[in-house]
Amino acid sequence: MDHIADAVKALSGCSSILVFTGAGISTESGIPDFRGPGGVWTRVDPEEFTYSRYLTNPDTRRRGWAMRAESGVFDATPNAAHRAIAELWDGGLMIACVTQNIDGLHQVAGLPDEAVIELHGNAHHTTCVSCGSRQPTAVVLDRVAGGEDDPTCTDCGGILKPDVVFFGEMMPEREMMRAAMAAGEADAVIAVGSTLSVFPAANVPLEVAEAGHPFVIVNRGPTELDDIATVRIEGPAGDLLPGIVRRLISGAA
Ligand code: NAD
């Protein structure tokens, strides 16, 4: 069966598609995911990276900065899947891209800020938890490369934390509201590169699907929501998504 044709058929006529992305969309840009084969959680215990551990344990912060320096996030470039989503937006068929990713690659690929909703923050900025002063993470990583393994705020000496949501931390209220609004207005959803197992983020595609709209999943490996998908396509997003988007745009033109 041609699943791409099935996906295009399911989505044809839709003009407010919500795209929901996870770590899997960025593996072809060289950034490991968390739960895929070889993902970060196969090597590291997620319990070590809770918000409270980060604030109270200097060893956790040292490990965090060392991992960040090697994460690939800071020198990655977008791949064909990120670019396809920007084309879908330019083609006028999309309402928003709700992402769990913290790498900022959707914007680099050409999606305007208004089109991107980052549920788990963005690693490219870092904030002092004491005085709130904000700076590019690249500046902090330069200090790490220079030998400071737990760099502190140069203004007040406070703990520095990248602008990403840690386990045990509140989700960003404004982005959650934007995501809920987009989900309420969407007429279809495509989930790309996510196990759809991290809640409340996965509620976003779930809500669109439960409203009776087409739900297409593009993923390597199973997801938690496979049973309710309209069409599920197995394989690398960078190979699959450009063809789907091209056919949707040419069908809409
Ligand atoms: P996940 O790790 O739980 O799932 C990723 C899924 O994508 C897996 O099923 C994997 O097999 C699949 N996958 C891997 N490469 C793929 C490809 N090329 N094409 C299609 N599918 C592919 O990721 P998640 O659901 O996003 O949840 C993990 C959490 O980790 C998120 O909350 C996110 O904030 C964070 N995270 C972000 C990044 C990033 O910003 N790039 C990287 C790692 C983790």
Would you kindly state where each structural domain of the chain is located, as residue ranges? 1-31+77-120+170-253, 43-71+122-164
Catalytic residues: 120
Q: Where are the beta strands (DSSP E) in the chain?
A: 17-21, 94-99, 116-118, 121-128, 134-136, 160-164, 188-192, 215-219, 231-234
Interval between CA 144 and ligand 1 midpoint (Å): 26
pLDDT for residue 1: 44
Task: Over range 79-92, report the average pLDDT.
Answer: 98
135: which strand partners?
126
Does the Cβ of 237 fall within 6 Å of ligand 1?
yes
The confidence score (pLDDT) of residue 34 equals 80
| Predicted local distance difference test score (pLDDT) of residue 38 | 63
Question: Which pLDDT tens digit goes with each residue over 21-44?
Answer: 999 999 999 998 887 666 665 666
The yes-or-no verdict on residue 228 having pLDDT over 90 is yes
User: What's the whole-number mean pLDDT along residues 125-142?
Assistant: 97
Q: What is 43-71+122-164's CATH topology? A: SIR2/SIRT2 'Small Domain' (3.30.1600)
Residue 79 phi, psi (nearest 5): -115, -175
120 lines ligand 1 (CB under 6 A): yes
170-207 pLDDT per residue, tens? 999 999 999 999 999 999 999 999 999 989 999 999 99
C-beta 36 within 6 A of ligand 1: yes
User: Is the pLDDT higher at 86 or at 38?
Assistant: 86
pLDDT at 212 over 70: yes
What does CATH list as the number for 1-31+77-120+170-253? 3.40.50.1220
Closest CA to 123 of 46, 53, 68: 68
Does residue 180 line the site of ligand 1, with CB under 6 A?
A: no
Q: How far is the CA of 141 from the centre of ligand 1 (A)?
A: 23
Distance 22 CA to ligand 1 centre (A): 5
Q: Is 198 in the pocket of ligand 1 (CB under 6 A)?
A: yes
- Pocket of ligand 1 contains residue 193 by CB under 6 Å: yes
Write down the mean pLDDT value for the chain: 94
In percent, the amount of the chain with pLDDT more than 70 equals 95
Residue 253 vs residue 49, higher pLDDT: 49
Give the residue, by CA position, lying nearest to ligand 1 atom 39.
Answer: 101
92-107 pLDDT, tens digit each? 999 999 999 999 999 9
Measure 191 CA to ligand 1 centroid, in angstroms. 11
Residue 112 CA to ligand 1 centre (angstroms): 22
Mutate to test the pocket of ligand 1, among 4, 21, 34 (most ligand atoms within 8 A of CB): 34
What does the pLDDT look like over 38-69, one tens digit per residue? Answer: 666 566 677 778 999 999 999 999 999 999 99
d(CA 164, CA 70): 17
For CA atoms 119, 123, 129, 133, the dihedral sign is: negative
pLDDT of 115 > 70? The answer is yes
pTM: predicted TM-score of the whole model, two decimal places? 0.94
The pLDDT value recorded for residue 171 is: 93
Q: At 50, which amino acid appears? A: T
Compute how many other C-beta atoms are within 10 angstroms of the C-beta atom of residue 186: 25
Same fold, 1-31+77-120+170-253 and 43-71+122-164: no
